[in-house]
Structure 1
Amino acid sequence: MISELSINEFHITLNEMTVEGTPSYKGSFFAFFTINFSNKSFYGYVSKSEFAISKNSNIKLVPFTIRGNYKKNGDKTEVDYEIQPIKFGNYWIKFMPISVLLISIFLFLLNINNKDFVNSQLIIFILFTLFFSIFANVDLYLKKKNFEKLFLKTLKINNI
Structure 2
Amino acid sequence: MISKINSIEFIERLNKNTKLGNPKIKGTPFAEISISRETNKPFFGTFDKTKFKLTENATLFPTPFTISGEINPKSNTQTEINYEVKPIGFGYYWLKYMPIFGILMFNLILYTQSAPLKVYQITNPIMFSFIVFSRFYLWRKKNKIETDFKKIFEIE
Deviations 1:95-116 (A, max 9, x none): 11111122334455557xx6x7
Q: Quick one: distance in 2 between partners of 1:14 and 1:43?
A: 10
- The match for 1:143 is 141
Question: Contact 1:104–1:125 at 8 Å: present in 2 too?
Answer: no
Aligned with 1:88 (options 76, 87, 90)? 90
Deviations 1:74-130 (A, max 9, x none): 22000000111111111111111111122334455557xx6x7x3212321111111
- The match for 1:24 is 24
1:123 aligns with 2:124: no
Structure 1's unaligned 5+ residue stretches are none
Percent identity of the aligned residues? 33
**What secondary structure, in the 3-state scheme, does the structure 2 residue paired with 1:157 have?**
coil
Structure 2's unaligned 5+ residue stretches are none
- The match for 1:15 is 15
- The match for 1:48 is 49
Question: Contact 1:25–1:34 at 8 Å: present in 2 too?
Answer: no
In structure 1, give the amino acid aligned to 2:49.
K
**What secondary structure, in the 3-state scheme, does the structure 1 residue paired with 2:54 have?**
strand
TM-score, normalised with respect to structure 2 = 0.91
- The match for 1:99 is 101
Distance 1:70 1:131, change over 3 A: same
In structure 2, give the amino acid aligned to 1:57.
A
Question: Contact 1:27–1:61 at 8 Å: present in 2 too?
Answer: yes
Q: Quick one: distance in 2 between partners of 1:25 and 1:34?
A: 10
Larger radius of gyration: 1
TM-score, normalised with respect to structure 1 = 0.88
In structure 2, give the amino acid aligned to 1:26.
K
* Cα shift at 1:45: 1.0
